[in-house]
Amino acid sequence: MHIPDNYLSPSTCAVMGAAMVPIWTISVRKIKSEVTKEKLPLLGIGAAFSFLMMMFNVPLLGGTTGHAVGGTLLAILLGPYSACISVSVALLIQALLFGDGGILAFGANCFNMAFVLPFLGYFIYKFVKDRAITEKGEYLGIVFGSYIGINVAALCAAIEFGVQPLLFKNAAGQALYSPYPLSVSIPAMTIPHLLIAGVVEVIFTVAIFSFIKKVSPGTIYEGAKRKTKAIYGLIVVLICLTPLGLLATGTAWGEWGADEINEVVSGGSALGYVPEKMANGFSFKAIMPDYAVSGLPEIVGYILSAVAGVAILIILFKVISTFKKIKVGDSIG
Amino acid sequence: MDNNRLKQFDMPGWLLKDERYCPQTDKDTFINKSILSVLSILSRIRAQSICKSAKYSVNAMFKVAFTFMLILLISFSRNFTFIVIINIYLISTLCLMDADVIVKILKISFVTTFFTFVVLVPSAIWGSSFNTIMITTKEFATITAVSILSHSTRWNSITGALKCFFVPNIFIVVLDITIKYIVMLGDFALNMLYALKLRSVGKNKSKNTSVSGIAGTIFIKSKEMAEDMYAAMECRGFTGEYNVYNGFRFNIADVIYIVINIGIIITFMYFERI
C-alpha cells in the first residue's frame, strides 16, 4: 500500500500533503495536552510495532504482495491521534531510510495509512464496543475496526492510483503517471485486501492486543500493571520473525519499479510502455533500499533493517519526550 | 503616643531622604559563565556517583576491553557493510538507555560527525565521496561507542577495570585522585565565585584581578589537600599499590555481552576476508 514516487502526479501529492497538515497539527496538539511525559516513549514502541507489521509481506492473488499496517491496534492502545503520529513517523523512516513509499507521495501514504486507517478503525471499534459491553463485544469491535479500516485505506490508495490516468495523459494518450484507471485499480487493490491482507491485519491486531492485555494491562487501562519488558520481548520476537515476510515473492500492486511496469499483466495484456514521468521522474536514493544491505544475504539484511528501524523509532520518541516539560500533576494523574 | 512622635522627630534627615541607588552595570558575565561551566562539570560527576546499577550489569572490565577492541576494529575495517552493522548494533543498544542519556550521547556524536563531514566536504567534491561517507560513519560509531561506555559505567569502576589491563599503579592513582579532586576543588572554586559575585556591587575595577586570585588560592589549596591526603593514606597503610578486590562472578549479562562481541569479531573477519 506504499505508493512510490512518480505514481501520483506532483499536484496530487501536494493536495494530499496539504490535507495532512491540519490533521498532523491537531494530532500534535492533542498529544501535547493529553499524553504525559512518561507515556510518550510508548508512541515510539507503537511506531516500532507498525513498522514491523508492515515488513510481514503476505502473498496475494495475482502474484502481488500485501502487508498489515496495525493502525487500528495503535489507535486502540494509544488513541487515534497518537496512532496517526506514530504511523506517520514509521512511514517517514521507511521512505527516507529504506525507500519504501515515495518522498513526494509521503502525504498520500500518510492519508491512507496514518489517517483513514486508525481513525476509521478506532471509531468502528468504539461504536461496536459501546453497544456490546462484554469482552466478546470488545474483540468483535477490534475485528470489525481493523478489517474495515485496512480495506477502506486500500480503497483510498486505489482511488488515488485510478484518478491519475483520467487526469494526466500525454499527446499519444499514454498515461504520464500511474497507468491504470479506476476500473482496474479498485478491484486490483481491494479484492486481495478483502480476502487476505484484511484477515492478516485482523489476526495481528487481535493477537497483539490480547497479548498486551494479558501481560501488561497498564498499557491499555490507566493504573493497572505496566510491563515494558514483555512488550520489548514481543518486539524482539517479531524482529526475529520478519524474514517470513521474504517468503512472499513478487512486488506489491502499484509498487513496481520503472523497469518492471512494462511487463505487468493486467486484464490479459501487458502494459507495453513505461509511463513518461515514471521513466525520468523524481528519484531518491535511500540508504538501505528495499530493506537490504549490500554485501549481505537477504535475510540478514532484512533483520538488520528491522532492528535499525525499531531502534531509530524508539530513540526518536524518547528524544521527543525530553522536550516535553513535566507538568504539575502528571505523576499523580 | 507622645513618645512615638518624639522618636519620629529624632530621626536624622538623611535617613528620611528618598534615595534611589542604581549600581552601575559592570561586565561580569565572565563570573556567571565560569560558575555555569564549573557547575555543569560538577553535576556530571555527581550524576555519575549516583549512577544506578542494574541487577544484571556487564562487568566494567569487559566493557572497557571490548569497547577498545570495537574502536580498533572500526578503524581497521575497510568494508562499509561492517560499519553499517556496527552502527545498527550501537543504535539498538542506545535505544535501551534513558531518554536524557540518549540526548546527551547523540548531541556529542552528531556534532562531532557533522564537523568531520564539513572538514571532508572538499575531498567529497574532488571525487572521493566514498571515503567521506566511510570516515564520517566510522567517526559516528567510535564516538557513540565511547559515550555509551562512559554513560553506562561509573568512573571508579573504569579505573578499577584499568588495573586488570596492567596499567601502572601511579597512573591509576593519579586518575582516581583527579576525578575526586575535580569535585572538591570545583566546589571550592564555586564558593569563591559566588562570594566574588555577591560582594562586588556596581562597578569594580579589581574584579578581573580577583579571578587570578581565585586560581592561585585553588592551586595552594590543592597542594595542601594533596599532601594531607597522601599523608592520611600512608597512615592507613597505602603503599602505592592497587589491589582490586571484587567477588567477580559471571552473570547472564556478561555472557550475552561476550557472545555479541565474539559475533562482532567474526563479522569483522568475514568481511575483511581474514
Q: What is the ipTM of this complex?
A: 0.80
- Candidates A82, A73, A27; CA nearest to A49 is A73
- Secondary element (H or E) of residue A69: none
Residue B139 within a domain: yes
Rounded distance between C-alpha atoms, residue A217 and residue A231, angstroms: 11
Chain B environment of A312 (Cβ under 8 Å): 91, 95
B227 touches chain A (CB under 8 A): no
Rounded distance between C-alpha atoms, residue A59 and residue B81, angstroms: 30
Q: pLDDT tens, B97-108?
A: 888 889 989 999
CB A54 within 8 A of CB A68: yes
- Candidates A73, A84, A83, A307; CA nearest to A208 is A73
Q: Tell me how close the Cα of B104 comes to any Cα of chain A, in angstroms.
A: 10
Residue B50 has pLDDT above 70, yes or no: no
Total number of domains in chain B: 2
Tell me the CATH number of domain A10-323, given options 1.10.1760.20, 3.40.50.620, 1.10.260.40, 1.20.120.430: 1.10.1760.20
Rounded distance between C-alpha atoms, residue A246 and residue A240, angstroms: 12
CB A258 within 8 A of CB A179: no
In B165-251, alpha helices (H): 169-199, 207-235
Q: Tell me how close the Cα of B102 comes to any Cα of chain A, in angstroms.
A: 7
Rounded distance between C-alpha atoms, residue A192 and residue A58, angstroms: 10
Residue B29 within a domain: no
Structural domain of residue B202, as residue ranges? 167-243
Backbone angles phi, psi at A265, to 5 degrees: -100, 125
Residue A110, beta-bridge partner list: none
A101: left (phi over 0), alpha (psi -120 to 50) or beta: left
| Residue B202 vs residues B19, B197, B207: alpha-carbon distances, Å | 16, 10, 11
| Residue A7 vs residues A102, A163, A275, A276: alpha-carbon distances, Å | 9, 11, 9, 11
**Beta strand ranges found along chain A (DSSP E):** 57-59, 65-67, 265-266, 269-270
Q: pLDDT tens, B235-262?
A: 988 877 767 666 667 788 888 899 999 9
Residue B27 within a domain: no
Residue B32 within a domain: no
- Candidates B65, B254, B95, B6; CA nearest to A51 is B95
Rounded distance between C-alpha atoms, residue B56 and residue A214, angstroms: 26
- For chain A, domain boundaries: 10-323
Rounded distance between C-alpha atoms, residue B142 and residue B78, angstroms: 15
Are residues B142 and B263 located together in one domain of the fold?
yes
Residue B212 within a domain: yes
Which of B79, B91, B103 lies closest to A308 in CB terms? B91
Residue B132 within a domain: yes
Q: pLDDT tens, B165-218?
A: 778 888 877 877 777 787 888 888 888 888 888 887 777 777 777 778 888 888
Q: Tell me how close the Cα of A220 comes to any Cα of chain B, in angstroms.
A: 22
In the stretch 263-292 of chain A, residues with CB closer than 8 A to chain B read 288
Backbone angles phi, psi at A269, to 5 degrees: -135, 145
In the stretch 40-59 of chain A, residues with CB closer than 8 A to chain B read 41
pLDDT at A332: 43
- Pairwise CB contact (< 8 Å): B94 & A315: yes
| Residue A299 vs residues A294, A306, A314, B262: alpha-carbon distances, Å | 12, 11, 23, 21
DSSP state of A169: B
Residue that the C-alpha cell 515494558 belongs to: A228
Rounded distance between C-alpha atoms, residue A304 and residue A298, angstroms: 10
CB A220 within 8 A of CB A77: yes
- Candidates A2, A24, A5, A35; CA nearest to A326 is A35
Residue B13 within a domain: no
Q: Tell me how close the Cα of A319 comes to any Cα of chain B, in angstroms.
A: 6
Question: Considering only alpha carbons, which residue of chain B is nearest residue A44?
Answer: B95
- Candidates A45, A50, A76, A55; CA nearest to A206 is A76
A241 touches chain B (CB under 8 A): no
CB A209 within 8 A of CB A142: yes
CB A319 within 8 A of CB A44: no
pLDDT at A331: 46
Are residues B120 and B238 located together in one domain of the fold?
no
- Pairwise CB contact (< 8 Å): A294 & B81: yes
Which of B80, B99, B271 lies closest to A322 in CB terms? B99
Chain A environment of B99 (Cβ under 8 Å): 41, 318-319, 321-322
- Pairwise CB contact (< 8 Å): A319 & B85: no
B88 touches chain A (CB under 8 A): yes
Are residues B173 and B228 located together in one domain of the fold?
yes
DSSP state of A111: I
Are residues B221 and B264 located together in one domain of the fold?
no
Question: Considering only alpha carbons, which residue of chain A is nearest residue B79?
Answer: A295
pLDDT at A267: 56
Are residues B78 and B145 located together in one domain of the fold?
yes
Chain B environment of A322 (Cβ under 8 Å): 99-100, 103
Are residues B147 and B62 located together in one domain of the fold?
yes
Backbone angles phi, psi at B118, to 5 degrees: -60, -40
A94 touches chain B (CB under 8 A): no
pLDDT at A153: 92
CA triple A198-A201-A203, angle to 5 deg: 110
Residue pairs spanning A and B at CB distance below 8 A: 47
Which of B80, B88, B103 lies closest to A319 in CB terms? B103
pTM (2 d.p.): 0.79
- Pairwise CB contact (< 8 Å): A293 & B81: yes
pLDDT at A322: 85
- Which parts of chain A register pLDDT below 70? 61-63, 219-227, 249-250, 258-259, 261-272, 276-281, 325-333
Residue B2 has pLDDT above 70, yes or no: no
pLDDT at B101: 86
The set of residues, in sequence order, having a beta carbon less than 8 Å from that of A230 and lying 6+ positions away, is A215, A216
